[in-house]
Amino acid sequence: MKGHVFVISAPSGTGKTTILGELMAQMSGVEFSVSHTTRQPRHNEKNGVDYHFVSVDQFRLMIDQGDFAEWAEVHGNYYGTSLSQIDKRISVGIDVILDIDVQGAEILRSAEELSASYIFIAPPSLAALESRLRGRKSEDEASMLKRLANGRKEMAFVNRYDYLVINDTLSQAVVMLKSIIYAQRAHANRGFDGTPIILEELT
Ligand code: ADP
Ligand code: 5GP
């Protein structure tokens, strides 16, 4: 059975990276698609693990070569998802999580050949978002204000998503996200992807 793609968006500072870290530690058969970006790495980020950190020239070359399923400029930097990374995993039955912004999600929705579930993670309030973003101490004031302003705009896209997870209590948000993935697996077991399961295989 093929793996499934989960597209996840959230305003910066919501806690998406934290939730996904917990989820990956608790679940098997699901992997994170490592995006390419032109932004500078944060002190705790590793090249090839959190992102593939590339120059603007390298990124443009990848666009020209058609390497990206989608790419977008977010908070002043380029980010893109490589097509081959997704195909390689879903073809061997691994579910793939794409952590992308609302513009990238719009592009993928219009790519009819990609079947995916769209999940929006929201903070419990804008005040909580600001306090988390400040608490992370990863941005200078200008970048933080840009992320907050973008976050407000991104919240307007929530109705475009299949699922909404509110990250109030971290553990509950992780359970909610895991439940969505398990539900999709149960759905696929019934053969909704066009490959009906023969009952004997289940016993
Ligand atoms: P994102 O990836 O969405 O930008 P992060 O995962 O980096 O956000 O989280 C932003 C900050 O909020 C981090 O300091 C993280 O520890 C904190 N955080 C994440 N989830 C919660 C939560 N449920 N309650 C309080 N703080 C949280
Ligand atoms: P950050 O700089 O905080 O890691 O990410 C900033 C934003 O870029 C987040 O909204 C994140 O979801 C988005 N992002 C990360 N990778 C990609 C990608 O490959 N494509 C798109 N469109 N957005 C991405």
Whose CA is closest to atom 8 on ligand 1? Answer: 15
* Alpha carbon of 11 to ligand 2 centroid (Å): 10
* Alpha carbon of 100 to ligand 2 centroid (Å): 5
Mean pLDDT on 56-64? 97
Residue 74 maps to a domain: yes
Predicted TM-score (pTM) of the model is 0.91
Mean pLDDT on 48-58? 96
Residue 163 maps to a domain: yes
Q: How many DSSP H helices and E strands does the chain contain?
A: 7, 9
Ligand 2 pocket test, candidate residues 45, 49, 100, 139, most atoms within 8 A of CB: 100
Q: What CATH number is associated with residue 175? A: 3.40.50.300
Which helix (H) or strand (E) element contains residue 147?
Answer: helix 141-155
Work out how many domains the chain is built from and give that number: 1
Residue 202 maps to a domain: no
Q: Does the C-beta of 13 come closer than 6 Å to ligand 1?
A: yes
Assign 3-state DSSP to the chain and report helix, strand, coil percentages, each to 5: 45, 20, 35
Task: Convert the pLDDT of each residue in 112-145 to its tens digit.
Answer: 778 899 999 999 999 999 999 999 988 899 999 9
* Alpha carbon of 144 to ligand 2 centroid (Å): 15
Report the Cα 154 to chain-centroid distance in Å: 14
Residue 81 maps to a domain: yes
Q: Contact, 150 vs 12, CB < 8 A?
A: yes
**Angle between the 141-155 and 126-136 helix axes, to the nearest 10 degrees?**
150
Which residues 6+ apart lie within 8 Å of 90 measured at CB? 2, 3, 4, 5, 96
- Which residue range forms the structural domain that includes residue 160? 5-185
Residue 98 maps to a domain: yes
* Alpha carbon of 130 to ligand 1 centroid (Å): 11
- Position 202 confidence tier, pLDDT thresholds 50, 70, 90: low
Q: Does the C-beta of 136 come closer than 6 Å to ligand 1?
A: yes
Task: Convert the pLDDT of each residue in 145-155 to its tens digit.
Answer: 999 999 999 99
Residue 93 maps to a domain: yes
Residue 152 maps to a domain: yes
* Alpha carbon of 135 to ligand 1 centroid (Å): 9
Residue 62 maps to a domain: yes
Whose CA is closest to atom 15 on ligand 1? Answer: 15
